[in-house]
Chain A
């Protein structure tokens, strides 16, 4: 279980997170929604330790994430970045097997390659893709490779940062389905940040809305449409009028 308590983060005068409280149950899929620039990515990076919060605590299974062994902590995570963040200089299979080839539990190269190809197959890519470089792939294929890399080491927790941004609706649907299937079959805890409502409905067990630096609303996805929260209603229906200023 991941618990955030009163997390604050500012960049200069810009107070991005102003006391975030959130709990993500083990084995559940939490989707964080909110407009662009509301701090969703910062929140995710705070949990991973890529950004240090100014105050507040973040715990994983009751342990403060800033005080645990960093490598052991990160070994429990997989992450799909918004742009894929694939390493240009490495072949696709080397990207997928990056973690498997390094560290104390490193696998021999042929075994790691075999496993990478299996993960590529799991995300719908043919083995021939394995020897290409990321620059030779389309945006959708890069996302799939990123997804294969995120699940390669069978992590307990997977983060998805805007998984469908920049994809056409069909490819977005494919990625959403893949995420849902993989999270369910691995029994992993998932946290996704997105402003794509079709992703929310496809992926989420629970939804939290981040606005003004705090979690404005959180609940099961089944209750999202019926909530009376004006912010959530404006966001999920994409209305220009409402409490959220349309020009930020």
Chain B
């Protein structure tokens, strides 16, 4: 009875440890290829466009609504102890440290991890990955490295843009709905915001970008056969990227702000 229960508990634990090991080896292999030629610059350019540029609308829309809602919430909460004036600084700090990178990361995970996993998974089931090998091209180097580099480079830019738009969303709500003076709102935003508030968010963004592309590539490369296999790979990529982003966010926040 006890042995059965332990076995039932042990099996998923062992599977989880094995999965962590496989992902770590996969990430190590990608990192090992980044600085070694050949470099596929054309593919990198295409990935920067796909992952960075085309994600701007979704990140921008997420940020503007989040900034606006944050301003309303802080104003309503702050009113309980006469602290309505902190709205600009809390919106700025909240957006740059947490909401910008985390929500941006999650939106990019939904958009990019899914498309990478579906694209690479389809390439796998239609033998395009085998074809790459027979054409003396390392699939990891040709497919995964440009995507991981592009996501890691473009996420901080997306986060910075999202931060600015989010703060603007808070400002817009502040001056139109909460009777803030525009100049005072902006002055409070700038005065209380520190460089590390923004910098920490950008570092988080780079880490989240790496996670998003890594999960997309890993699940795509390990996709099972058929439409169902590609569907499952896509779902796993989004779920694992989202969970890892939230876990990494907690760890990075511990490292950056509790010492």
Nearest chain A CB to B50's CB is how many angstroms away?
10
Which A residue sits closest to B130, measured CB to CB? A50
Q: What is the bound-complex CA distance between A70 and B133, given in angstroms?
A: 10
Nearest chain B CB to A237's CB is how many angstroms away?
31
Q: A79-B131, A102-B38 are in contact. Are A85 and B136 (CB under 8 A)?
A: no
- Residues in A lying within 8 Å of B, measured CB to CB: 45, 48-50, 70-71, 74-75, 77-79, 81-83, 85-89, 98-99, 102-103, 149
Q: List residues of B (32-49) whose CB comes within 8 Å of A's CBs.
A: 38, 46
Q: Which residues of A contact B38 (CB under 8 A)?
A: 102-103
Do residues A74 and B130 form an inter-chain contact, with CB atoms below 8 A? Answer: no
Q: What is the bound-complex CA distance between A13 and B51, given in angstroms?
A: 42
Which B residue sits closest to A70, measured CB to CB? B136
Do residues B136 and A99 form an inter-chain contact, with CB atoms below 8 A? Answer: yes
- Residues in B lying within 8 Å of A, measured CB to CB: 38, 46, 123, 126-128, 130-131, 133-137
Do residues B131 and A85 form an inter-chain contact, with CB atoms below 8 A? Answer: yes
Further 8 A-B residue pairs, CB within 8 A, beyond A102-B137, A149-B135 = A48-B134, A74-B136, A77-B134, A81-B130, A85-B127, A98-B135, A99-B135, A102-B38
Nearest chain B CB to A11's CB is how many angstroms away?
12
Which B residue sits closest to A99, measured CB to CB? B135
Q: Which residues of B contact A75 (CB under 8 A)?
A: 136
Q: Which residues of A contact B133 (CB under 8 A)?
A: 48-50, 74
- List 29 A-B pairs, Cβ < 8 Å: A45-B130, A48-B134, A50-B130, A50-B134, A70-B136, A74-B133, A74-B134, A74-B135, A74-B136, A78-B134, A79-B134, A81-B130, A81-B131, A82-B127, A83-B126, A83-B127, A85-B126, A85-B127, A85-B128, A87-B128, A88-B128, A98-B135, A98-B137, A99-B135, A99-B136, A102-B38, A103-B38, A103-B136, A149-B135
Which B residue sits closest to A98, measured CB to CB? B135
Q: What is the bound-complex CA distance between A171 and B220, given in angstroms?
A: 34
Q: What is the bound-complex CA distance between A180 and B130, given in angstroms?
A: 24
